[in-house]
Structure 1
Amino acid sequence: MTAAEIAETIAPAPAFVAPAQPVGLALALLEQAAAQPGGVLFIASGERQAAEIADLAQALAPGWDVLRWPAWDSLPFDLAPPSAAVMGRRAATLGRMAAGVERPLVVATAEAMLQRTPRPDAFREAALTLSAGDPIDTQALGKSLESLGYWLDERIDEAGEFGLRGGVVDIFPADADSPVRLDHADGRITEIRRFDPVTQRTEEAIPSITLAAASEAFAENGRQADGAEGAQSARASFAQRVLEAHEDLVAPRELFPAAQLVLAPDAEGRADAFLDMVSDGRGRPGEALYFGADAWGALVEGALRLERMPEAQSDVPAFAAERLPAESAARFLRKERDSGRTVVLSAPNRTWLRRLRRLAEEALGRSAEDIAGWEQARAADPGSLLAVESEADEGLRSPDAPITLVTAADVFGSRARASALATPAAVVLAGPDLRCGDVVVHRDHGLAVLETVETIEAPGAGPTETIRLRFAGDEILMVPADEAGLLWRYGSEPEAVALDRLGGEAWAKRRQEIEAELRETAGRIARLARERAGKTAPRLVPPRAAYERFASRFPYAETPDQARAIEDTLADLASGRPMDRLVCGDVGFGKTEVALRAAAAAALAGKQVAVAAPTTVLARQHLETFRKRFARMGIRVEGLSRFVTAAEARAVKAGLKDGSIRVAIGTHALASKDVAFEDLGLLIVDEEQRFGARQKAALAALGEGVHVLTMTATPIPRTLQAAMAGLRSLSVIATPPAARVPVRSVVQPFDQVSIRDVLLRERRRGGQSFVVCPRVEDIEPMRRRLAELWPEAEVLVAHGKMKPAEIDDSLIRFADGDGDVLLATNIVESGLDIPNANTMVVWRPDRFGLAQLHQLRGRVGRGRRRGVFILATDPAAKLGSHARKRLETLAALDRLGAGFAISARDLDQRGAGDLLGEDQSGHVRLVGAALYQDMLERAVKAARGEPVEEDWAPEIGMAAPGAIPADYIPEPDVRLELYVRLARARMAGELSALADEIEDRFGEPPDSVALLLEKARLAARCRDLDIARLDLGPQAVALGFRSGEAPPQWLNWALSRAKAGAPEWKRGRLIWAAPSPDAAAERAHAEKLLAWLEDARDKAEAAGA
């Protein structure tokens, strides 16, 4: 029997009636929990709803025990474990249960309730508490963390990771939102601080931290977590490993035995899908972890069934969509007060709460009182005006109490909603970091392989860190680490590059050619920028109320990057100059909403909008999306593609010509000669990289004189380079949407049994799968293999040798839910949005490019389920080093928002091409993308008449130059990164910040690092004074200027007024006799001399000398 059929055999239970809005449901569940001695167990319709309800409930009732019990984010019998974040959250809930909770509100899902779990005491006993002042043995701590499921890593930015370096231990607790940093000295923890996983900088100090297990397969009571048979255990499912690790597992319902169960309407359907997957694995090791259908029947007996009351009974008007939002909100607030209802104002942060509060206080003539949560609102006097910070973005008239919740989003629209998700996004526009093994460019010598960072004994200076470069003919150059600023990443594989000869002339000639070409390119860029600034375009400013009404129909909270992109786009449209903006965002990160807002702004301002997509299928999907959003807005949206008949096409063209159609969506056919717009104001180009050169030219002609918005996930290198060079405005959407999880990426040899399991599991959970081949010739053999391993599957096919209409038919049928598997070439890599298809198997991934694989991965995981991406290599074919590197890169960039980074790697490897021409690889390959970018920026500044800082570095002669020892920072790549940053720091403030960061990340620096920082500070001051060389000695400090043998004019002025004991100019150098007993005194004298020079220069300038 299915879960639904079992439910029908159970006597009907009373309904649990709650408002339709999430905030209303959260409050109703809190009310129910308060009334039940054992609290409430709510089984949500899915993880998205569970997270939303739990977060809202906790925000509205901060003192209440709100517990999340999520399901594993992996399928039953998977070899790979669930994510550390999910297991950490489960561990945190078990830990709180073990400590004791009163009347909790527990939010779970059907899948989470159908799986046994270790008992709470096991997690409490396994948890590790660390406090400031405790003794610490870092090696023993590392072993303890690994036994709890934590992974050792270099950079700690995900839950379940830890790192050991010098006097610092970094740990990202599995159940926390941010990592912690432990400073230690002399065997004791000196301080514990939280730190930002993006910037790696520390924040507030905390007295102690308790670390929950990052895996449910931790060894309990000395049991062997991985089983006795090591090799066999490595192939065991994670479920089997959990069973082996614990004596005693319990049902989740046993954790909350007295809680009143409330069941969401869709929970039984999810239980059915999960039970089917478990049934499919019957007989496998690990089966005992899961319950069957009978257990579900026993679980839901006596449950209250959630029923939603009509929204009209509980909703608050959307004031932002009205013509005068503030006045409408004020009238509503006065009406609520006059009826004796308490009004609670809510906003996601203090800024928006202050604005909302000001409006309400003026309307009601009284001050608002701050509260911490909903309980205080219930206890307040009738008619009170209260204010609370919470992430509720929709108002509510409570049916259970005379309380009305009004949110900032109700009054101010989507702008106020976006602030609730203000999380940092790591977007790095610079080139990739240098790493050992990379091909690099030495500014003076050319291409070489950076082999390693090693310590050598320098005569008179002791141990010195150097960077070992290998040039052609295996010639070696040892570059002092403090000259790391001369090195730039090149990007290609060493085997694919012709290295330069040390001391040869080829490099100098190549660089001169590039510099000459860059001067010409920079001149053209400067002219284009001036022309662009001089052009005008219509100012497109939509009516505020109509635009907010459109924006309010976006069902999700905008992410911070998305909100910023929308704001910048609207500002461009209103500027009076032609917009040319590139929106670069990973697949599924919300670029379409930016396009919708821009289209709405233009259409509501009276202009027409053209949306061009590279394929008819994508154009059809956009048409459906735009029509749905523009419904009831009085704006006609039509499509122009193969899907319309000849008569319909004529009607659409006529509507565009007479202006009755405001938004047109199609392929490059929109730019055809027989298509004329009455008043085109905005052109939107989606997936620009998929258009050919002629199509781009036609679209460029269509966009002449109008605003242009381009959207892409992985832009072609020239597009990205143009944005970086300032030719186009750039918006990067790197913040993932709420509740979005990364796609699970797995590299494995193609195995019929495992591939069959993957496809069947997707079907069991009601989904569809892609199988992608690199060549058309691979399609038929793969179809035969699929027929062997899954004969019942309905397989649809799409590839480039089919007729366009046949391809469209297959893709549209698959998008509409027909077929179990779509067998295709990379024709599906771009633009398909099929939320029901969440598994993809790529055959021979070594035959795809990096950006192609990332685009393919973006086709799955777009719905509510976690996507699965299998890179199935050929067991009979050996992977080449370049292909292996490509797959490793994809695995390393599997986090959300990796599209921009992948495009930067592609730029790094392939070159940007001629920015203003058609050569896609261009001259970038001659010098590497990173150095090319630096040279281009300098050339563009010069062409614009801006000051350009010369690329030079002063020489500092010190007895001990300093170094970053390996026992302080063991990872060579990290040391290399710091050497480069030190060498390129130009200002004293930069160096101070870097010194703080080094101590913050790695602990108190040893003397050699302090020396290195001191040398860098001396170099920065010398650069400012135009000093070419500074020498420190036991008897004197001497320096020479870049100007040559004669001193600068200001120095002559100062020396002519100097007193006895002042420095003297001798033989082209300034010398200050200052006997020094040791190296520290030498550095102090050098500091004094530089301070004297700085003061002398300032006085000379003040005197006009």
Structure 2
Amino acid sequence: MVLPFVRDLFTDVEKLPAFARVASHLKEGTGRISVSGLTPTAKALLLVLLQRAADRPLILVGSDNRSMEDFVPLLQAFCELTGAADPETIVALPTRDVLPFQNLSPHPELQEERAVALWKIATGAVSIIVSPITATALRLRSAEYYADLARIVRRGDTFDTDPLLRHLNTVGYTSTDVVEMPGEYALRGGILDVYSPEADRPVRVEFFGDEVESIRKFEPATQRSSNPVDEAILLPLTETPVSDDLLGAIHARLSGKRITGAEEIVEQAVRSGGVTVFPGWEFYAPVAGADRTIFDLLPRALVITDEPENLKPEFEHTWSRIEEAHERSGVGNLVRPADLYLSPEEWWAKLGTLRGADVEHLGIERTGQAEAVTFHSQPTPRFHGSVPAMLEQVQKQTAEGKRVLIAVPNTGEIERLADIFTEYAVSFRLGSRTRSGESYADETAYFAGEVLTTTLAKAYVPDGVALPDANLTIFGARDLFDESESVVSRPQRQKSKTSAFLSDFRDLQVGDYVVHVEHGIGQYQGLKEINQGDGNAEFMLLEYAEGARLYVPLTRLDLVQKYRSSEGAKPPLSHLGTAAWAKAKARVRKAMKDMADELLKLYAERKTAEGHAFSADNEWIREFEDAFEYSETEDQELAIVDVKRDMETQQPMDRLLCGDVGYGKTEIAMRAAFKAISDNKQVAVLAPTTVLVFQHYETFKQRFAAFPVSIEMISRFRSAKQQKEILQKVEAGKIDILIGTHRLLSKDVKFADLGLLVVDEEQRFGVRHKERIKQMRKQVDVLTMSATPIPRTLHMSLVGLRDMSVIETPPKDRIAIQTVVATWDDKLILSALEQELDRGGQVYFVHNRVDTIWEIGAKLQELVPRARITVGHGQMSEGELEKVMLKFMHHEADILVATTIIENGLDIPLCNTILINRADRLGLSELYQLRGRVGRSNRRAYAYLLVPAEVELTPIARRRLAALKEFSDLGAGFKIAALDLELRGAGNLLGGEQSG
């Protein structure tokens, strides 16, 4: 919480003559005013203060989603610091991530974000709307229409549940048995559970007849309710509710013409009477009467353009792409681009009639331009983690009579800075309450009140700004620590990752599978009343294979248990009267005994083993950790504590670190490695592929660059002579960290003093290699990392054979990957490639056949002549493959056509589209790992799983692809592992060793 006195720091900004001129124009003037000299941070501060001064909503128009999304948390931070507006009233209205006429629907998360934003706009719950130019050009319906997308349920209200449920279905909700995720609802008798978008938790609405008796929030993981509330707002998940009226209007517009090519699916919808949705149907919604724009929904709003010189080419480029897609689609004049969007000419003409301002960094005088005002804002210096340099600058600024505000993203950073200021005897005051409360503030703040001093506050301001005319300097987190990201974001929705392994016992329904202790798996068919001569008794009716029936008296229900399985598998029914079930139980009993023996043996060995107890953290380790350019997630911090605790004990560590791709497992491994090196021990990092070894080598070299640590790799990328030299250095103790493939496990690899073994993706190694790793476990500390552990590995951790840490919190701003399953279609592939290249990104194209991979590369080059395409596969020589990988990593190529050699390792934030050819031939874990190569930044990522149209997919292949498409949410690795267990069979889990 920001303390009230912080607001006083900004009063001089509002007294500036330039500010007064702009505020006056926005309140009373006409037309537009040009405002220049503003850094991005200065723009955000100025807009928040101008919105308060004008007392009108602002629409900030930018070039694209990414630049606008960066503005939202910055505007929210200044709302909190200045007290100008409620941060929740800053709303982003993104543009759709695909264009019309491409036969693709927008990403569900984007649709949800747009729907919620339009509802807030329609109900007036906004102060500043941030939106790309193409989103402001989209034709919309009336404010009343969007206001009606949500439902507000209040205690004491009377509701007919049938219309309410129909409404929830039309605005994108899904009916489920148990509500765990946003967008789900469940009705059980007089109880309605609903999880609304943007809500921190779902709500449980209890009806007494038609009256709402109570509303309570509940935890999705436990389903236990608490926290009674007076009302619940059920927000929409789509701005285009599915209705017969809307689809009928689309049908009426599209009928009467045969549509060919990419729009065949539209033709099918037309033939079926317009009641079927089809990919991309949302774009046709404006034909049902969308004759307004965002400017009409907010007639009082002031329109601010950000860097207007960039907007025109951006919009014209998008418009030309829409026209090209329209021409390719064959829709013709039935639906034209101008029916869906304002054209660039219409948009600029509309802007000329609206009051507002054009803000830019660089002010260039132009003939005939609008009234112009110049502010003086400057970027702040960067200290790159140098405490003395930062303190010197702070003291210099305060000595010159300037107010200094240091904004950092979390409470821990504030306390860290407070300790530094105290240690160096530099005055400061805390502008935010810290974890330790006011006593910490009283104890550590030297001065308060009117004395000019530095203020430390919690706020998301990555880059600082100096406003010399207002005597104000703001330093951001990146100025101080070179942090490229921060942890400040909207609270992450809590999703139960263990739900894949749990089943709900409370609601047994007809058709559910149950297990009888003596007779095996049957299907519950309800309760039956049977006359027993002296009265009626109730029995549970179970149906078995071949229609056999078993009646279980309710007095013996202790013999029956609900069948548990991941994702609702349908097990084969047992045969009554055979020995099959008894044999199955005997096998399980033996497997459990074997496992117990293994557990006891391993525990005994680990307890008696004498390992190395590593020293507690020293200054070097703390310095290494402080150099981490991101902020750790909560799960990362817990895992780091677990690993360090294990390393500091006498017994050898054996810990499994399970976390989704890109969730920060490598950083934990590097910290463990640094801890080992600090005790003069060597570290071995084992990875399954040459490419992954190379990626780890590059990552380790970069992370350890500022420290005297010797790092080498041993793989196919090193010649025999180089390998020999490296091994000699390793044996002599001259190399601290050796990264390699299974070559590391060879007998000629001898370490001087090995202290830690890090194993990445252990399931990719063969039995022989695993035996060698198992021997090493008894002697040195072992840390194993995996995103989707094989069922056996996961089970061993769950029963305690191995310690496990789980990272399930995604990094800040990580966005779920949109997964599309499609047949090979040149137009679809062209759209996917062009969309990524147009935003300056890169593309993986996976084709797992070396004999035809060059043909695929040539085909893609023909589709996109401007693209720089390179090809890589495992049969290339070491030098060739290394060149290909480096070329792609350094963005000297736009598209990498490769085999599954890229499955592990490549970490390229710019690469956010992957196309996987013949995805039906790949395993679930393999597909999941491949998809994990993209979406490793805060850009929206896309995965296209291509399957042949002429080949019938097997049921298993269909389930794999469906699972991958369904589990697109962040941190789905656990669910994928659970389904993998189901697809491959649970029998092996309790029995013989799995090689993976």
Which TM-score applies when normalising by structure 2? 0.76
Give how far 1:729 is off. Answer: 0.5
Distance in 1, matches of 2:173 and 2:493, equals: 24
Write the deviation string for residues 478-531 of structure 1: whole angstroms up to 9, x where unpaired: 55784575454478999996x653122243244334424532431232121022
CA contact 2:688–2:760 (8 Å) conserved in 1: yes
Give how far 1:730 is off. Answer: 0.6
Q: For the structure 1 residues 688 and 494, does the alpha-carbon distance in structure 2 shift closer, same or farther, using more than 3 Å as the test?
A: closer
CA RMSD of aligned residues (A): 4.7
Q: Note if 1:427 corresponds to 2:497.
A: yes
Residue range with higher mean Cα deviation, 662-671 or 71-80 = 71-80
Q: For the structure 1 residues 94 and 485, does the alpha-carbon distance in structure 2 shift closer, same or farther, using more than 3 Å as the test?
A: same
Aligned to 1:722: 796
Q: For the structure 1 residues 819 and 843, does the alpha-carbon distance in structure 2 shift closer, same or farther, using more than 3 Å as the test?
A: same
* 2:77 pairs with one of 56, 59, 69: 56
* 1:242 pairs with one of 266, 285, 291: 285
Which of structures 1 and 2 has the bigger CA Rg?
Answer: 1
Q: Note if 1:287 corresponds to 2:337.
A: yes
Q: For the structure 1 residues 672 and 35, does the alpha-carbon distance in structure 2 shift closer, same or farther, using more than 3 Å as the test?
A: farther
Report the 3-state secondary structure (helix = DSSP H, G, I; strand = E; otherwise coil) of the residue aligned with 1:567: helix
Distance in 2, matches of 1:464 and 1:382, equals: 82
Partner AA of 1:14 in structure 2: S
* 1:344 pairs with one of 423, 431, 436: 431
Distance in 1, matches of 2:559 and 2:456, equals: 55
Q: For the structure 1 residues 365 and 304, does the alpha-carbon distance in structure 2 shift closer, same or farther, using more than 3 Å as the test?
A: closer
Partner AA of 2:293 in structure 1: V
Residue range with higher mean Cα deviation, 691-700 or 382-391 = 382-391
CA contact 1:196–1:202 (8 Å) conserved in 2: yes
Partner AA of 1:145 in structure 2: L
Distance in 2, matches of 1:739 and 1:122, equals: 31
Partner AA of 2:38 in structure 1: F
Give how far 1:566 is off. Answer: 1.4
CA contact 1:85–1:174 (8 Å) conserved in 2: no
Partner AA of 1:602 in structure 2: A
* 1:205 pairs with one of 221, 228, 233: 228
Q: Note if 1:329 corresponds to 2:421.
A: yes
Aligned to 1:893: 967
Give how far 1:149 is off. Answer: 4.0
Partner AA of 2:171 in structure 1: L
Partner AA of 2:761 in structure 1: E
Distance in 2, matches of 1:117 and 1:495, equals: 46
Q: For the structure 1 residues 514 and 196, does the alpha-carbon distance in structure 2 shift closer, same or farther, using more than 3 Å as the test?
A: closer
Q: Note if 1:582 corresponds to 2:656.
A: yes
Aligned to 2:548: 475
Partner AA of 1:475 in structure 2: A
Alignment of 1:471-550 (within 5 A): 471=545, 473-477=546-550, 482-483=557-558, 485-486=560-561, 488-489=563-564, 500-541=574-615, 543-550=617-624
Write the deviation string for residues 9-66 of structure 1: whole angstroms up to 9, x where unpaired: x9995221366xxxx8865653454456656637485365245325534554666144
Distance in 1, matches of 2:446 and 2:614, equals: 38
Give how far 1:683 is off. Answer: 1.3
Report the 3-state secondary structure (helix = DSSP H, G, I; strand = E; otherwise coil) of the residue aligned with 2:361: strand
Q: For the structure 1 residues 584 and 322, does the alpha-carbon distance in structure 2 shift closer, same or farther, using more than 3 Å as the test?
A: same
Unaligned runs of at least 5 residues, structure 2: 1-31, 253-267, 330-334, 363-377, 384-392, 394-403
Distance in 1, matches of 2:414 and 2:213, equals: 57
Report the 3-state secondary structure (helix = DSSP H, G, I; strand = E; otherwise coil) of the residue aligned with 2:815: coil
Give how far 1:920 is off. Answer: 2.1
Write the deviation string for residues 824-856 of structure 1: whole angstroms up to 9, x where unpaired: 443332232232332233334332222222222
Report the 3-state secondary structure (helix = DSSP H, G, I; strand = E; otherwise coil) of the residue aligned with 1:428: helix
Distance in 2, matches of 1:295 and 1:225, equals: 29
Report the 3-state secondary structure (helix = DSSP H, G, I; strand = E; otherwise coil) of the residue aligned with 1:675: coil
Q: For the structure 1 residues 254 and 616, does the alpha-carbon distance in structure 2 shift closer, same or farther, using more than 3 Å as the test?
A: same
Distance in 1, matches of 2:771 and 2:823, equals: 43
CA contact 1:193–1:204 (8 Å) conserved in 2: yes
Partner AA of 1:281 in structure 2: A
Give how far 1:443 is off. Answer: 3.3
Alignment of 1:829-908 (within 5 A): 829-908=903-982
Write the deviation string for residues 515-558 of structure 1: whole angstroms up to 9, x where unpaired: 24532431232121022022232232454443333223333332
Unaligned runs of at least 5 residues, structure 1: 1-9, 369-379, 923-1105
Aligned to 1:166: 189
Q: Percent identity?
A: 31
Alignment of 1:1031-1042 (within 5 A): none
Distance in 2, matches of 1:715 and 1:889, equals: 16
Q: For the structure 1 residues 632 and 768, does the alpha-carbon distance in structure 2 shift closer, same or farther, using more than 3 Å as the test?
A: closer
Distance in 1, matches of 2:531 and 2:148, equals: 57
Aligned to 1:303: 359
CA contact 1:239–1:286 (8 Å) conserved in 2: no
CA contact 2:98–2:105 (8 Å) conserved in 1: no
Aligned to 1:138: 161
Q: For the structure 1 residues 202 and 45, does the alpha-carbon distance in structure 2 shift closer, same or farther, using more than 3 Å as the test?
A: same
Report the 3-state secondary structure (helix = DSSP H, G, I; strand = E; otherwise coil) of the residue aligned with 1:46: helix
Aligned to 2:444: 363
Give how far 1:765 is off. Answer: 2.7
Aligned to 1:943: none
Q: Note if 1:691 corresponds to 2:765.
A: yes
* 1:445 pairs with one of 514, 519, 526: 519
Report the 3-state secondary structure (helix = DSSP H, G, I; strand = E; otherwise coil) of the residue aligned with 2:358: coil
CA contact 1:744–1:868 (8 Å) conserved in 2: yes
Report the 3-state secondary structure (helix = DSSP H, G, I; strand = E; otherwise coil) of the residue aligned with 1:832: coil
CA contact 1:88–1:173 (8 Å) conserved in 2: no
Distance in 2, matches of 1:467 and 1:785, equals: 61
Distance in 2, matches of 1:257 and 1:493, equals: 51
Give how far 1:92 is off. Answer: 4.3
Q: For the structure 1 residues 54 and 245, does the alpha-carbon distance in structure 2 shift closer, same or farther, using more than 3 Å as the test?
A: farther
Distance in 2, matches of 1:666 and 1:276, equals: 49
Partner AA of 2:751 in structure 1: F
Aligned to 1:189: 212
Aligned to 1:228: 251
Q: For the structure 1 residues 764 and 781, does the alpha-carbon distance in structure 2 shift closer, same or farther, using more than 3 Å as the test?
A: same
Report the 3-state secondary structure (helix = DSSP H, G, I; strand = E; otherwise coil) of the residue aligned with 1:305: coil
Write the deviation string for residues 594-626 of structure 1: whole angstroms up to 9, x where unpaired: 212222322334332222221222122222222
Distance in 1, matches of 2:727 and 2:850, equals: 37
Give how far 1:708 is off. Answer: 0.9
Alignment of 1:905-920 (within 5 A): 905-910=979-984, 919-920=993-994
Q: For the structure 1 residues 272 and 539, does the alpha-carbon distance in structure 2 shift closer, same or farther, using more than 3 Å as the test?
A: farther
Give how far 1:579 is off. Answer: 0.9
Distance in 2, matches of 1:655 and 1:315, equals: 51
Q: For the structure 1 residues 421 and 149, does the alpha-carbon distance in structure 2 shift closer, same or farther, using more than 3 Å as the test?
A: closer
Write the deviation string for residues 104-143 of structure 1: whole angstroms up to 9, x where unpaired: 3444445544544445443235443332222211111122
Q: Note if 1:710 corresponds to 2:766.
A: no
Write the deviation string for residues 337-389 of structure 1: whole angstroms up to 9, x where unpaired: 4xxxx541354xxxx243xx5444223468x9xxxxxxxxxxx7446998977
Say how many residue pairs are matched.
880
Aligned to 1:17: 39
CA contact 2:846–2:916 (8 Å) conserved in 1: yes
Report the 3-state secondary structure (helix = DSSP H, G, I; strand = E; otherwise coil) of the residue aligned with 1:594: helix
Distance in 1, matches of 2:667 and 2:500, equals: 27
Partner AA of 1:168 in structure 2: I
Alignment of 1:752-901 (within 5 A): 752-773=826-847, 775-776=849-850, 779=853, 786=860, 795-803=869-877, 806-901=880-975
Residue range with higher mean Cα deviation, 299-308 or 185-194 = 299-308
* 2:823 pairs with one of 738, 749, 768: 749
Report the 3-state secondary structure (helix = DSSP H, G, I; strand = E; otherwise coil) of the residue aligned with 1:247: coil
Aligned to 1:1053: none
Distance in 2, matches of 1:220 and 1:720, equals: 45
